[in-house]
């Protein structure tokens, strides 16, 4: 897969895994970062500190890098922060996407672009009544990407992963559980409190997700949206039970309620499965790696 790939959000949780993955595949990687550093040094890696809200800077970067693939991971992914600073979230998610697709159009680049959406975003027909500003920005991000495909034939695909887990710095619930359990283990506290252990999630390992992104670059259909999921709903109580096994820490789970009050979002992975992609990491192996990683924190 010897190609040039530009990865935005390269210093983030998924971004760091993506950088390592595509370097191993023999790609020349242009990694766009904002604030944090990227502790990877390789001859084929080019690091670009860049504010994606700067339209001209984005244009200059794409003109110089001439990527074959663009993996757009950068953005604001916090629902609470989207309430506090909705314009900032809009710029981070919608503005950055517009600048990328417009630079591709203006430069006439034959680049394939995968935009990382979210299962939390609303569908377009509900965009006028969003559940929170974050969902609106992700919906409009998708809208902009697909509009540039339809209007200007830009090679764009949307990827909507479920809840991402795996080793690395993450604010996800599994990593938070692991960190809290380590604190309990260190202090001898054996009672772990959780609001509702019956809440369920679909978890996808970040390494499987990056493999899915590669599959889309190679075989995905332009203009399509692909949901990337494990296909298995898991309760938070089951997650804690797995942590009990992998940590060898005998703690007790205290839950406020066992009633599942949530509505499951319909997620269908048939389209990505049709491209011969499937997840390779079990929940148990993913959580074991999360547990191992948190020992470093």
Which domains, and CATH codes, for the chain? 4-161 (3.40.50.720), 165-202+232-265+281-294 (3.90.25.10)
With contact defined as beta carbons under 8 Å apart, do 211 and 21 qualify? yes
* Average pLDDT over every residue of 118-130: 62
Per-residue pLDDT band at 297 (split at 50, 70, 90): confident
Query: Which residue did the predictor score with more confidence, 218 or 117?
Result: 218
pLDDT at 129 over 90: no
Token representation of residue 55: 């339209």
Residue 204: phi and psi, rounded to 5, are -125, 130
Nearest in space to 117 (alpha carbons), one of 132, 139, 147, 95: 139
Token representation of residue 235: 């309760």
Question: How far is it, in rounded angstroms, from Cα 83 to Cα 91?
Answer: 14
Percent helix / strand / coil, the chain, rounded to 5: 45, 20, 35
Most confident of the ranges 77-86, 105-114, 137-146, 247-256? 105-114
Token representation of residue 297: 């924190």
- Maximum Cα interatomic distance, the chain, rounded to a whole number of Å: 61
Which range is least confidently modeled, 103-117, 222-236, 253-267? Answer: 253-267
Which range is least confidently modeled, 73-82, 265-274, 281-290? Answer: 265-274
Q: What is the pLDDT of residues 169-207, one digit of tens each?
A: 888 999 999 999 999 999 999 999 999 999 999 999 999
Own/partner pairs, 182-188, CB within 8 angstroms, 24+ separation: 182/294, 182/295, 184/249, 184/251, 185/247, 185/249, 185/251
């Amino acid at each position: 897969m010897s190609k040039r790939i530009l990865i935005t959000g390269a210093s983030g949780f998924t971004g760091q895994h993506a950088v390592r993955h595509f370097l191993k595949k023999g790609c020349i990687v242009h990694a766009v970062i904002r604030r944090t550093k990227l502790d990877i040094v390789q001859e084929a890696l080019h690091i670009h500190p860049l504010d994606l809200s700067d339209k001209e800077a984005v244009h200059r970067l794409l003109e110089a890098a001439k990527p074959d693939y663009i993996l757009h991971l950068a953005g604001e992914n916090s629902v609470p922060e989207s309430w506090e600073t909705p314009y900032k979230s809009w710029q981070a998610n919608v503005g950055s996407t517009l600048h990328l697709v417009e630079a591709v159009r203006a430069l006439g680049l034959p680049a394939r672009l995968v935009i990382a959406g979210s299962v939390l975003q609303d569908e377009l027909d509900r965009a006028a009544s969003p559940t929170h500003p974050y969902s609106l920005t992700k919906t409009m991000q998708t809208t902009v990407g697909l509009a540039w495909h339809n209007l200007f034939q830009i090679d764009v695909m949307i990827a909507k992963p479920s809840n991402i887990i795996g080793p690395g710095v993450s604010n996800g619930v599994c990593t938070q559980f692991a960190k809290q359990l380590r604190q309990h283990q260190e202090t001898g506290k054996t009672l772990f409190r959780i609001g509702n252990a019956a809440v369920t999630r679909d978890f996808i390992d970040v390494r499987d997700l990056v493999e899915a992104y590669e599959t889309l670059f190679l075989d995905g259909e332009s203009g399509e949206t692909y949901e990337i999921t494990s296909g298995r709903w898991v309760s938070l109580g089951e997650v804690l039970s797995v942590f009990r096994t992998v940590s060898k820490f005998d703690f007790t789970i205290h839950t406020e309620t066992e009633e599942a009050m949530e509505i499951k979002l319909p997620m269908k992975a048939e389209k990505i499965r049709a491209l011969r992609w499937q997840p390779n990491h079990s929940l148990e192996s993913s959580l074991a790696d999360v547990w191992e990683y948190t020992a470093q924190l």
